[in-house]
Structure 1
Amino acid sequence: MRFTDAFAKLPPATLQAISPNSVLGRLRFIILYTGGRLFLNIFLPVRKPENIKGKIWLYVVSKNNYESLHFLQNKLPDSVFVAGQNKEIGIYNQKVNRLSTRFKFLYYYKFLPLNWGLYRLKGKRALRFFDLIYVATGYYELSIRYLQKYKPAAIIFANDHNTDPRALLLAANKLNIPTVYIQHASVSTSFPPLQFSLSLLEGQDALDKYQQCGPVTGEVKLIGMPKADKYLTQKNLSTTIRRVGIAANIIDEIQPIKALLEALFQALPDIIFTLRPHPGDKRNFNFVKEFGANIRFSDGKKEQAFDFLKQQDALIAADSSIHLEATMLNILCFYYRFNTTEFIPDYYGYAQNGLVEEVKDANQLINLLRKYQNHRPLVYERARYYNAVLGTEYEGRSHELATTYILEHLNKLKTV
């Protein structure tokens, strides 16, 4: 994804946090990464309290990943959570086994040839993101090393596009280790092709998009959203709007968020608005305290998305999967962009497919909130294109489907 148009069009502030905009900034990042990660990791202890050899690995790269796969830990007795040595898993940091990256520096002789090869393939973007190529160097070789050492029975992923899970996937495919992908968030046509032995997707939307990303290999099943199962019986059937959530993503700009809060605070004092930044957003949102009692804050690092959504009647967000999660709980959603950059509008196609109502400015949003304030419509059926089991006997039982398909798949491979 690092060389796609979508990535290149990220807001400058967001891109700066991933890959500094200046060459000197990227060189500084490489120096700090080399000292703080590559060489420091040689001496740091690696947390591995469980025996991971021969087990089913639940490989995670974030708090959201962990929550998406947690249901499998009890369903698959031989499963263990695994993450890279420095991966930030939030409140679950102490609950995952770590794979050391202390030998990663051994493979950096490949960096310059790799950069040159990508330049010939991708052009100037390979030069722009040479720091990201530097970070990615060695992950594949390291993955081969650990897979040969620990010989996992299978690897289950909730992320199919970040650097280290992608490297682990390619290494597992080379060594004929079964791989399973459980979709944990909405996808776009900028994602890499599906290359797992079994892919468990939420619905037809995901499959349609992945088919545009390239050839789909392995089995594909549509199972809905396992992490939503226990919440689907708690749909919000209220006909009024009294509480509105505002979900901010890391690509959203602070100033437009503040401006919208100011407008909502002034125009709709009888509605409680709660801002919830993405769990991975490290920016300062203390400005929320400047407003009155009807503007509140939810810490995404501590409160799960569905627990936040249960308290809302409507949701305002831009390009975020939380729209889908909210709609499944019958929460009215408004697509409102918080940035002025060229980033692809309606990235997930929610507005185009009728999942959400698109609004262009604060005045239109305020008018719609007033319109629906005492006449909130039912909306959860809009999510059927995205969640294959809504309205079927398996609604709320996606985790059962996932477990069944995984066990069937692994048992079938044993007999081959």
Structure 2
Amino acid sequence: MPAIRMRLGLLSAALTIALASTSAFAQKGQYDIGATDTEIKIGNIMPYSGPASSYSVIGKTEAAYFNKINAEGGINGRKINFISYDDGYSPPKTVEQARKLVESDEVLLIFNSLGTPPNSAIQKYMNLKKVPQLFVATGATKWNDPKDFPWTMGWQPSYQSETQIYAKYILKNYPNAKIGVLYQNDDYGKDYLKGLKDGLGSKVSMIVKEESYETTEPTIESHIVNLKAAGADVFVDLSIPKFAAQAIKEAAEIEWKPAHFLNSVSSSISATIKPAGFDNSQGIISATYLKDPNDPQWKSDPDIKAWNAFLDKYYPEANRADAFVVYGYAVAQTMVHVLKQCGNNLTRANVMKQAASMHDYVVAGLLPGVKINTSATDFAPISQQQLMRLKGDSWERFGDVINSDVGG
């Protein structure tokens, strides 16, 4: 009897191994948590409320784009399960939502979460967990650090490179300028400020006044008054849309008319310019890497036609004057491209490998000549921009597309 029991035990063990092997072969590919034969779970954190809520349309656009992809059959036969939470632009809440996405929802990755302070709050956690923090919606230079943070990657041009472009323009066109700076008192604002100072170099003394604000302040009017009082005739405005609109209105009200440079993250017509008033905003200079769908020159452009068709079907209530809708459309395409390149190897390591292997990738919605390039040592996908000036009710680009690599 003992021998029979042993043979039955061996038979049972062999059957278990056989079933496990059959199950493994039945799967299409290799997976980490968050991916299966039928689904890819993508996490996202957006400020659907709070001082940066104007950016929330990015998350809504991304959700609509993934719905489009799913309707067309998904990615290599897998449907995207896009889970997006609100953090109110509050870093402690971002930490809470990131933990929920990783540990409870068990997403494969977190994609395009918005803001420098929020992403800074979860960067170490994401890298410790070895979960991709991919294409973060912030231009802080710190996201391009593959050596220390191999699981974090940016997408848009860096803040420092953008303000270096402004600095070069100011030095050439306003050599005797007295510069006043408004910046948000956090990593986002300080990163932009560093780029400006680096760009000015030995002429950094041209900055006659720096004013920082907190996102909890109801208004930044007093800061604008202080900049005017300092005698500034060039205004470098490094603020998010809510405060950028306030700055433009206040400058008009106190009849301060400096040459005005506005950071690109607040260049939205609907979120910043329209609330500030078109009359108050004429001549403001900013930078861009995206096509403006409201610019007549793109009326017959295939990219913008495809964008409009996408919105008609999947996000009809979208404000088509909002540049953030184009942004969401473009970055969502990049995410889909990376997942397609992963094929049937949907491990977190392979997601990062594919994200770091893009060469001259062209995304619908980017300006002509702007291409995405990454490598194992370069986690800055986009490094080209073009200056633009507000004229009438739209932006008018001028000059060449500039390679804006920091130090370049």
Relative to the length of structure 2, the TM-score reads 0.34
Relative to the length of structure 1, the TM-score reads 0.33
Larger radius of gyration: 2
